[in-house]
Structure 1
Amino acid sequence: MILVTGGTGLVGAHLILHLLNENQPIRAIYRNEKKFDTVKRIFGYYTDSAEDLFSKIEWVKADLNDIPLLIEAFKGITKVYHCAAFVSFEPDKFELLRKTNIEGTANIVNLCLSERVKKLCYVSSIAAIGTPTIETDIITEDNDWNPEFDNSVYAITKYGAELEVWRGTQEGLDAIIVNPGIIIGPGIWNYGSGSLITMVDKGMRYYTTGSTGYVDVLDVVSIMTQLMESDIKNERFILVAENLSFKDFIYKTALHLDVHPPNKEAGPFLLSIAWRLDWLKHILTGKRRVMSKQNAKSAISKTIYSNQKIQSALGYQFKDVDSSILHTTTYFKSDFN
């Protein structure tokens, strides 16, 4: 049996659907029953049998740090896809990020070892890839992590989680790590690329000229399963279809949503004011941070990621980003119009 953590998330839900279509027995960990509707909605984008497929999943309510419940969830498991994570760039959320992403992953690794799981796939992020000393350099899996760099709290904990996976491989666990870029896919509109699509639909005044890597959720799922079925082990792979500027992504999204794109650039000076005002508002009101110093810096940083390693390993051809945006915005409009 296959265990999926984070089964109600964007990657987790698409992964489970993919595995169910291959008639694989699935056990999935969740935290909140309210998110089951999201999973069924995502299933419904691709099949008329969403309810029937959903009923085949063996759901287990558990927290990544609840060891007794996790032990029960691991009984009879042969492969694990660890998709669960806490995503936040708010500095004051560091302890929760560390508890979920690092300690939670350590628990998953330990149980994989104790239960003699055949293989683990960990969904990390390009945030955990080392940053080059020269901005124009192409980033690969071989870039060294620089602890002196001004890394976001999210990046720090995803890198820490990867260290736990590597520790597991030293103790005999077969594992792979995937490092997706910004994942494009339908169904979750309040965080990740879905929240950006929501913002574009509502109307944005400013764009930024930084760049990063993007990838379709279906590509992520397909590569994960191919790697798990292969003899490849103890390797990490950057999953990026294309590198685009934030401006290009926003403009492509606005085009497919039939809304006006932003027409003003937010440069370094404006962003430096914005994150400081956001910090001050947080101090005075206690409201959640919207922009951190690291977010502001990444918004104007031009990062370029290589997908050569995964292309060489699997001969994989990615979907182009414009098609991914069109596919995702089509379901966005059907959900809200």
Structure 2
Amino acid sequence: MILVTGGTGLVGSHLLLRLVNDNIEVRALYRTNEKLEQVKKIFGYYSPNAKKLFKKINWVKGDILDIPSLELAFREVTHVYHCAAYISFNPSDFKLLERINREGTANVVNMCIALGVKKLCHVSTIGTIGKPNSNDKATEETEWSRQHANPYAITKHLAEMEVWRGAQEQLQIVIVNPGVILGPGFWENGSGTFFKTASKGYPFYPPGGSGFITIADVTRSMVELMNSKITGERFILVAKNLSYKEILSQITSTMGKKAPKKELKIWQLQLGKFGDQIRNIVTGKARTITNSTIYGLLHTTEFDNSKISKALEFEFQPLDETIKFSAKLFTEEHS
């Protein structure tokens, strides 16, 4: 039996679809019925038999912070994909981020060790990969620093430390560090915000850039790593390094919108941060523009994907088809 935590998120839901399509016996954690409806919607994007595929999953209501529910979920489990995480870049959420991302991961690792799970695949983030001082590409070995890191990346780094602790206790582990994941259905966070922004036809773009990858490549690499003899390693998952101007231009093109032409200046981002702080005070809505956010928007880090390419002879998919597919779905759902 395979267990997937975070089965109702972008990575988890697409991973579940891949596993059930391969007739793998799988169990998944969920917290609310509303989250389950999201998974059904994702399945429906790809298959006319979405309901049938959904019913193949053994769903367990629970939480990675709730030990009794984890004990139930881990029964007869041999392999675990740990996709669950809390995503926020708001400094005020740091304690919650640390509790879910670090403590929750510690709980998963402890259960794996206690119950003799054969292998754990942990989904981290590109934000825990260090930034090189030169123009070289960042690799899995580039030293990481908290400086300029956002709260989410800091707590995901702490989560990785829990996974490495498990490795020291003889648990077989692999860690994946995906770049910005392109895929449909989650329009309020991650790459979904690129589609949301592109649909509004804004003329501005941030000057920085990052690494991008399709959701299909993320889940395929996870499954291949889990099925391999590789253990005690982490892998950057990036198909292509792009500037934010390039990715927004590709998305706007598929949506029939004008590509952004004006580069955002530092003073404009600082003004946006001030407005975001006022909005947070007046409405209580979470902050989205912070010093670490601005740093990320201003700077470009390129990532080296050669490690996984060599380890699995892995060939990444072009981004174009996933961008078109996701843009089409976004347009249909917001027309």
| TM-score, length of structure 1 as denominator length | 0.96
- Contact 2:148/2:295 (<8 A) preserved: no
Query: SS at the partner of 2:254?
Result: helix
Counterpart for residue 115 of structure 1: 115
User: Could you tell me how far apart the structure 1 residues matched to 2:37 and 2:69 are?
Assistant: 23
Question: Is the deviation greater in 226-235 or in 26-35?
Answer: 26-35
Counterpart for residue 143 of structure 2: 144
The 5 Å alignment of 1:92-107 reads 92-107=92-107
Q: 2:236 aligns with which of 232, 235, 238?
A: 238
The 5 Å alignment of 1:231-310 reads 231-310=229-308
Task: Tell me the C-alpha RMSD between the 2 structures.
Answer: 1.3
Q: 1:225 aligns with which of 223, 226, 229?
A: 223
Q: 2:155 aligns with which of 157, 160, 165?
A: 157
Counterpart for residue 8 of structure 2: 8
Q: 1:212 aligns with which of 201, 207, 210?
A: 210
Do the aligned partners of residues 32 and 203 (structure 1) sit closer, same or farther apart at CA in structure 2, a change above 3 Å counting? farther
Amino acid at match of 1:175: I
Over residues 181-240 of structure 1, what are the superposed CA-to-partner deviations in whole Å (9 max), with x where a residue is unaligned? Answer: 000011221211112201211232421120100000000000000000000001000000
User: Deviation of residue 285 (structure 1)?
Assistant: 4.4
User: Could you tell me how far apart the structure 1 residues matched to 2:276 and 2:186 are?
Assistant: 25
User: Deviation of residue 132 (structure 1)?
Assistant: 1.6
Over residues 83-141 of structure 1, what are the superposed CA-to-partner deviations in whole Å (9 max), with x where a residue is unaligned? Answer: 0110110000000100000000000000000010000000000001112223x221000
Query: SS at the partner of 1:305?
Result: coil
Counterpart for residue 46 of structure 2: 46
Do the aligned partners of residues 137 and 268 (structure 1) sit closer, same or farther apart at CA in structure 2, a change above 3 Å counting? farther
Over residues 16-70 of structure 1, what are the superposed CA-to-partner deviations in whole Å (9 max), with x where a residue is unaligned? Answer: 0110011111110011210222211111122111001111111111111101111
Question: Is the deviation greater in 62-71 or in 269-278?
Answer: 269-278
User: Deviation of residue 144 (structure 1)?
Assistant: 1.2
Counterpart for residue 80 of structure 1: 80
User: Could you tell me how far apart the structure 2 residues matched to 1:43 and 1:282 are?
Assistant: 35
User: Could you tell me how far apart the structure 2 residues matched to 1:39 and 1:210 are?
Assistant: 32
Residue-pair matches, total: 335
Over residues 239-271 of structure 1, what are the superposed CA-to-partner deviations in whole Å (9 max), with x where a residue is unaligned? Answer: 000000001111110000112233322122221
Question: Is the deviation greater in 240-249 or in 324-333?
Answer: 324-333
Provide structure 1 residue ranges, at least 5 long, that are not aligned to the other structure: none
Do the aligned partners of residues 285 and 37 (structure 1) sit closer, same or farther apart at CA in structure 2, a change above 3 Å counting? closer
